[in-house]
Amino acid sequence: MWVTVDGERSLGDAEARLLCRAVGSMLSDFVAVIRNRTYRDQECWLAGIDWFDQWEVEQKVWLLERVATALLTDQPAPKPAAMCEATVDAIFQHVFERVAEELEQDAFQDSEGDDVDREPGTVDHLILAAEQRWSDDVIRALRQQQRRVMKIGRAADQANEWRRLIMQIVDRILGVAAYQTAESYRDQQAAKIALFLSQKGLPADFLTQIPPLLGQRETEACIERLRDLLGQFGH
C-alpha cells in the first residue's frame, strides 16, 4: 500500500501496468551493470534526480523492490523517506524518456517514409502492431485516474505535453513530493528542517534514511523477488 492523494491504496490495473513496465526496464539495465564487470565501470542510467542517482546500483535495485512492493501489493506502506519518494519520481522519469524516444522514432519513420514498405498483413506490419507503446500505457493510466477520455498528438514537438501528463500520474500517487522541499532546507538551520518535517507529519529521519548496501547473495535474492512480483502483473 502507498499513501496517495486518494488515501492509502495500491495501484489500479492501468497504473500498475505502466509502473511494472518501467520498473522491469530499469531492472534489466541495473542487472546488466551488476553482472557485467567490464560494463560496471560505465555510467549507469541516471534519472537526473539526485536522491535516486546517488546510490550504488545494488541500492537502486533494493529501492525498486521496496517501492514496487508498496505500490502493487497490500503490504503496509513503508516508512516515509526521501529515497522512496525520489524512486517513484525516477520510475516515471524513465517512462517519460521511453515516450520521448517513441515520438522521435515516429518522426524519423515519417520522414523516411517507412510506412510505404510495411503493408498490412506482412510480418513487419504484424510486429509493429503487436508492440505495446509506452504512450498508450500512459493514456490508459490517466484514463483510470481521471475517468475521462484523454487525447494527445504524437508529434515529436509535443514531448513537453507528454511530460506534463506523466507528471499528473505521479502527482496523483505522490501528491507534493516532500523530499524536494525538505532538501531545499538542508543548508539552513536544522530546526527549520525539523519544523517542516513535523508539520508534514514526516519522521525525523525522513532525509537521512539510506538504502542498505547489499552483498551479492542479497542482491540476487532482491532481484528474484522483484522479478517474481513483476511476473504477477505480466511483466
pLDDT 10s digits, 143-174: 999 887 777 766 657 888 999 999 999 999 98
111 pLDDT tier (thresholds 50, 70, 90): low
Prediction pTM value? 0.86
Pair 111, 80: CB distance under 8 Å: no
Residue whose grid cell is 521511453: 98
Q: Which residues make Cβ contacts (< 8 Å) with residue 94, sequence separation at least 6?
A: 22, 25, 26, 45, 47
Q: Residue 175 is which amino acid?
A: G
Going by their DSSP bridges, the two strands 2-4 and 7-9 should be labelled as antiparallel
pLDDT of residue 145: 92
Angle, CA of 128, 131 and 133, to the nearest 5°: 115
Length of the chain equals 235
* pLDDT tens-digit readout, 176-193: 788 888 877 766 678 888
* pLDDT tens-digit readout, 217-230: 999 999 999 999 99
Pair 95, 138: CB distance under 8 Å: yes
pLDDT of residue 185: 74
Grid coordinates representing 185?
532546507
Of the listed ranges 100-104, 146-150, 200-204, the least confidently predicted one is: 146-150
Q: Across the strands, what pairs with 9? A: 2
Residue whose C-alpha is closest to residue 209's, from 55, 89, 28, 24: 55
131/164 Cα distance (integer angstroms): 24
- If one compares 43 and 199, the residue with the highest pLDDT of the two is 199
pLDDT of 120 > 90? The answer is no
pLDDT of residue 181: 84
- If one compares 205 and 153, the residue with the highest pLDDT of the two is 205
Question: Beta-carbon neighbour count of residue 48 at 10 Å?
Answer: 10
Q: Which residues make Cβ contacts (< 8 Å) with residue 92, sequence separation at least 6?
A: 22, 166, 167, 169, 170
pLDDT of residue 93: 97
84 pLDDT tier (thresholds 50, 70, 90): very high
Pair 179, 86: CB distance under 8 Å: yes
pLDDT of residue 113: 57
119 pLDDT tier (thresholds 50, 70, 90): very low
Residue whose C-alpha is closest to residue 211's, from 75, 79, 21: 79
